[in-house]
């Protein structure tokens, strides 16, 4: 039976899978693709059940327009596209180009992300474009840029992980977020390597660790500084590496020496002997890695926190060498590619800077427009959402559900409701799409071809395996039709390979150079690592000879601990941290529509320690209210001693009264503009059921 080799629509691991026609012949089913190296055939439940969302029972199959009576009513594509073009141009005419916003997603393919950025800047002429990937990776990206001069999530393939000597995994629960990746850690231990997990919860991933450090949420920066202090104090620095391949050590060293172990124990709650043990484990082998995820990154000091972990790697010579280095485990399916090709507020394709005259000239040349016509950088994601209804009055949204996934979500929902005009392109009627004036139903992963770039920087090809239902169009077709209605007849092809060929030219010579990558080459090599200039091979391992800075040296950045934006007090005495569960994905827009996944994870919960439960009168399985300065959420209590007694955890996949993001703090990192999802102050109130 014919099968199509493709990739999962969800997370950044981008597991390989084969699709074949199902028994009825109307849909597809997933079968193993053992030869794809990243997951070697393994899939989590989300990947295995992904075809369920292709069913017409759960998806949008025709455009909708809000009627005078306020209801979303079926419409033709012509009516819907005319309405979107009219809504966007009316706002632009009345209030200027920057009154029109565009919000994208880290799940969009490279072709879509590229076209959306071009659409915003060339067709709408607006600077107001950003995307939900800002919530996912921007602190690590900023720290990467600062230290190494280049941001690629992992500078090495995952296959290197089991062969290193020690991994410090910071704020990542791979067992729930990317289960097939857990085997890399299992193999690490089988090979004699050691695993240190940093997480305020003893997660299923932390259970695998040789050493689990459970810092108070919001104190990872102090923890990293404390480890670096001990590295220096115990004479474990690699002076030869520091002298040959880095700059800025004296300042970073001085900053670390101000964070002595007893102080760090007071800040983090991690005992000094455990700090010493971590340093011993990290420094003993020839090679070691630090991998971070959303835990340390989604903080108002996320860039500095990641920077502190990078400093630890540099001071010990664990960077720019085989089997050593710092890497970020990007979250969303195309979180990596999505940030490289122009849907980010400050960037042009190829990871070029919008403020760089040479970059503007190059990309404008590819687009056939005057460089001066390109707008400058716009607002970051939360700031854009916060400006809806005031400075930004109309919005085109693709592949995102901020009403559930943005911090301070009730406020964001209020802002979305206050828009003059909202158009949403999505596959399901998400909570945000339900508020739109026009909803455009679009094709899904198995119904269209396009590339994504996984967390390793490996560019992959998703292939069309199924004919889409007649009532839906691709995002590229939507942008093509809207551009034509707004007066730009050319430059928005609907063929993804044609878009990719233009993207290659636009990225040529940029930091994320895709010019040597083609659909044919991806298919032949089962993925190509960027940078890959024309005529060259891809680059699985970065920085082995030099870092991507002007002088080729990595830069230490002196950083110091500072408190989270909100600390517990008498009124809000408990810390809240948020995260994911294995059976749901991000805002749950797709996975909440899969019965098998819903049965496994039907709703939100509040995880808390028995001592805290006793103090607030929480009872297992009974509703518990969590209240912050921004809102209130109610969900059943789940009592466990695997979490710190000063902290509660809520997963963030659900809308309604269990919406965790009703509580979260939009305090922004000053460099990355990443909101502080991972820590805020709350109080708990038992609720009569």
Least distance CB 48 / ligand SF4 (angstroms): 7
> 446 in the Ramachandran plot: left (φ > 0), alpha (ψ -120 to 50) or beta?
alpha
Least distance CB 605 / ligand SF4 (angstroms): 21
Element (H, E) at 147: helix 134-148
Element (H, E) at 274: helix 272-283
Of 177, 188, 237, which Cα lies nearest the Cα of 210? 188
Interface residue with ligand SF4, options 101, 155, 180, 399 (CB under 6 A): 180
**Residue 278 contacts ligand SF4 per CB under 6 A:** no
Nearer to ligand SF4, 10 or 184 (CB): 10
Beta bridge partners of 292: 170, 328
Q: How many residues at the interface with ligand SF4, by CB under 6 A?
A: 14
Cβ–Cβ < 8 Å for 18, 33: yes
Nearer to ligand SF4, 15 or 28 (CB): 15
Least distance CB 508 / ligand SF4 (angstroms): 29
Cβ–Cβ < 8 Å for 445, 28: no
Q: What are phi and psi of 639, to 5 degrees?
A: -95, 125
Least distance CB 454 / ligand SF4 (angstroms): 8
**Residue 229 contacts ligand SF4 per CB under 6 A:** no
Residue 621: both structure tokens together? 């399985």
Least distance CB 597 / ligand SF4 (angstroms): 11
Distance, in Å, from the CA atom of 413 to the CA atom of 630, rounded to the nearest integer, reads 13
Interface residue with ligand SF4, options 53, 102, 122, 178 (CB under 6 A): 178
Cβ–Cβ < 8 Å for 201, 642: yes
Least distance CB 486 / ligand SF4 (angstroms): 36
Least distance CB 15 / ligand SF4 (angstroms): 3
The span of 177-185, 217-225, 306-314, 386-394 binding ligand SF4 (CB under 6 A) equals 177-185
Nearer to ligand SF4, 145 or 330 (CB): 330
Residue 37: both structure tokens together? 């190296």
Nearer to ligand SF4, 587 or 662 (CB): 587
Distance, in Å, from the CA atom of 352 to the CA atom of 340, rounded to the nearest integer, reads 8
Nearer to ligand SF4, 174 or 283 (CB): 174
**Residue 11 contacts ligand SF4 per CB under 6 A:** yes
- Quote the distance between the C-alpha of residue 226 and its chain's center: 28
The span of 174-182, 197-205, 474-482, 541-549 binding ligand SF4 (CB under 6 A) equals 174-182
Least distance CB 136 / ligand SF4 (angstroms): 14
- In the region spanning residues 23 to 62, those forming contacts with ligand SF4, defined by CB under 6 A, are 39, 43-44, 46-47
Interface residue with ligand SF4, options 4, 6, 15, 522 (CB under 6 A): 15
Per residue, what are the HEC states of 328-387? ECCCECCHHHHCCCCCCCCEECCCEECCCHHHHHHHHHHHCCCHHHCCCCCCCHHHHHHC
Least distance CB 38 / ligand SF4 (angstroms): 8
**Residue 8 contacts ligand SF4 per CB under 6 A:** yes
Nearer to ligand SF4, 44 or 424 (CB): 44
Least distance CB 590 / ligand SF4 (angstroms): 11
Interface residue with ligand SF4, options 13, 140, 483, 517 (CB under 6 A): 13
- Quote the distance between the C-alpha of residue 517 and its chain's center: 24
The span of 4-12, 225-233, 316-324, 669-677 binding ligand SF4 (CB under 6 A) equals 4-12
**CA dihedral angle for residue 211, residue 212, residue 215, residue 217, rounded to 10 degrees:** 140
Nearer to ligand SF4, 15 or 476 (CB): 15
Least distance CB 356 / ligand SF4 (angstroms): 34
Cis peptide before 304 (omega within 30 of 0): no
- Quote the distance between the C-alpha of residue 174 and its chain's center: 14
Least distance CB 532 / ligand SF4 (angstroms): 22
Nearer to ligand SF4, 46 or 339 (CB): 46
- Cβ–Cβ contacts within 10 Å for residue 639, how many? 19
Nearer to ligand SF4, 335 or 533 (CB): 335
Least distance CB 646 / ligand SF4 (angstroms): 31
Residue 476: both structure tokens together? 């590229």
Residue 25: both structure tokens together? 């012949």
**Residue 114 contacts ligand SF4 per CB under 6 A:** no
Q: Which residue is nearest to ligand SF4, using beta carbons?
A: 47
Nearer to ligand SF4, 48 or 121 (CB): 48
Distance, in Å, from the CA atom of 435 to the CA atom of 419, rounded to the nearest integer, reads 10
Nearer to ligand SF4, 8 or 281 (CB): 8
Q: What are phi and psi of 2, to 5 degrees?
A: -70, 130
The span of 12-20, 274-282, 405-413, 541-549 binding ligand SF4 (CB under 6 A) equals 12-20
Residue 207: both structure tokens together? 């259970």
Cβ–Cβ < 8 Å for 532, 228: no
Least distance CB 36 / ligand SF4 (angstroms): 10
Residue 320: Cβ-neighbour burial (10 angstroms; 0-12, 13-18, 19+): buried
Nearer to ligand SF4, 107 or 631 (CB): 107
Element (H, E) at 85: helix 77-95
Nearer to ligand SF4, 590 or 672 (CB): 590
Distance, in Å, from the CA atom of 82 to the CA atom of 398, rounded to the nearest integer, reads 17
- Cβ–Cβ contacts within 10 Å for residue 2, how many? 8
Place of tokens 């970051």: 380
Cβ–Cβ < 8 Å for 194, 202: no
Least distance CB 106 / ligand SF4 (angstroms): 13
Nearer to ligand SF4, 10 or 282 (CB): 10
Nearer to ligand SF4, 58 or 560 (CB): 58
The radius of gyration computed from the CA coordinates of the chain, to the nearest angstrom, equals 24
DSSP for residue 11: B
Site residues (vs ligand SF4, CB under 6 A): 8, 10-11, 13-15, 39, 43-44, 46-47, 178-180
């Amino acid at each position: 039976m014919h099968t199509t080799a493709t990739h999962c629509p969800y997370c950044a691991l981008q597991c390989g899978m084969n699709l074949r026609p199902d028994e009825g012949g109307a849909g597809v089913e997933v079968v193993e693709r053992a030869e794809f190296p990243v997951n070697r055939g393994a899939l989590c439940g989300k990947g295995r059940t992904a075809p369920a969302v292709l069913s017409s029972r759960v998806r949008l199959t025709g455009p909708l327009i809000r009627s005078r009576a306020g209801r979303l009513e079926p419409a033709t594509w012509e009516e819907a596209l005319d309405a979107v073009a009219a809504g966007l141009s009316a706002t632009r005419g009345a209030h200027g180009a920057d009154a029109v916003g565009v919000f994208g997603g880290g799940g969009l393919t490279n072709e879509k992300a590229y076209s959306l950025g071009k659409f915003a800047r060339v067709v709408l002429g607006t600077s107001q474009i950003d995307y939900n990937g800002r919530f996912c990776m921007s602190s690590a990206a900023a720290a990467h840029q600062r230290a190494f001069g280049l941001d690629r999530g992992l500078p090495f393939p995952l296959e290197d992980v089991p062969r290193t000597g020690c991994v410090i995994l910071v704020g990542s629960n791979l067992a729930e977020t990317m289960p097939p990746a857990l085997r890399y850690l299992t193999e690490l231990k089988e090979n004699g390597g050691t695993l240190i997990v940093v997480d305020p919860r003893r997660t299923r991933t932390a259970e695998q660790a040789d050493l689990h450090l459970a810092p108070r949420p919001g104190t990872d920066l102090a923890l990293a500084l404390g480890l670096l202090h001990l590295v220096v104090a115990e004479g474990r620095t690699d002076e030869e590496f520091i002298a040959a391949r880095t700059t800025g050590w004296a300042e970073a060293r001085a900053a670390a020496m101000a964070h002595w172990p007893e102080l760090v124990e007071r800040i983090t709650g991690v005992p000094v002997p455990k700090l010493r043990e971590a340093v011993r484990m990290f420094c003993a082998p020839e090679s070691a890695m630090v991998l971070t995820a959303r835990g340390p990154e989604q903080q108002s000091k996320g860039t500095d926190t990641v920077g502190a972990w990078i400093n630890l790697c540099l001071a010990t010579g664990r960077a720019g060498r085989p089997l050593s280095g710092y890497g970020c485990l990007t979250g969303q399916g195309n979180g990596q590619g999505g940030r490289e090709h122009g849907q980010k507020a400050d960037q042009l394709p190829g990871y070029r800077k919008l403020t760089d005259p040479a970059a503007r000239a190059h990309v404008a040349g590819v687009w056939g427009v005057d460089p001066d016509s390109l707008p400058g950088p716009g607002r970051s994601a939360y700031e854009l959402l916060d400006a809806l209804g005031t400075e930004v009055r109309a919005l085109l949204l693709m592949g995102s559900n901020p009403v559930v996934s943005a911090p301070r979500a009730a406020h964001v929902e209020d802002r979305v409701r206050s828009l003059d005009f909202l158009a949403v392109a999505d596959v399901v009627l998400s909570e945000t799409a339900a508020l739109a004036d026009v909803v455009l139903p679009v094709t899904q992963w198995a119904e269209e071809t396009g590339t994504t770039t996984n967390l390793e920087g490996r560019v992959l090809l998703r292939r069309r395996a199924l004919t889409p239902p007649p009532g839906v169009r691709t995002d590229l077709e939507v942008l093509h039709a809207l551009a034509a209605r707004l007066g730009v007849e050319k430059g928005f092809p609907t063929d993804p390979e044609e878009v990719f060929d233009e993207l290659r030219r636009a990225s040529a010579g940029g930091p994320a150079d895709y010019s040597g990558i083609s659909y044919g080459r991806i298919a032949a090599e089962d993925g190509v690592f960027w940078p890959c200039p024309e005529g060259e091979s891809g680059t699985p391992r970065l920085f082995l000879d030099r870092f991507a800075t002007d002088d080729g040296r990595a830069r230490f950045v002196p950083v110091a601990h500072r408190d989270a934006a909100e600390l517990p007090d008498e009124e809000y005495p408990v810390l809240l941290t948020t995260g994911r569960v294995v059976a749901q994905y991000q805002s749950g827009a797709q996975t909440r529509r899969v019965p098998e996944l819903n049965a496994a994870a039907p709703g939100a919960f509040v995880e808390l320690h028995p001592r805290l439960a006793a103090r607030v009168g929480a009872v297992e399985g009974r509703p518990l209210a969590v209240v912050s300065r921004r809102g209130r959420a109610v969900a059943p209590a789940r009592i466990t001693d695997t979490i710190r007694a000063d902290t509660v955890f809520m997963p963030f996949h659900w809308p309604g009264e269990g919406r965790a993001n009703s509580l979260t703090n939009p305090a922004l990192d000053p460099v990355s503009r990443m909101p502080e999802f991972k820590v805020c102050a709350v109080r708990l109130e038992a609720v009569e059921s």
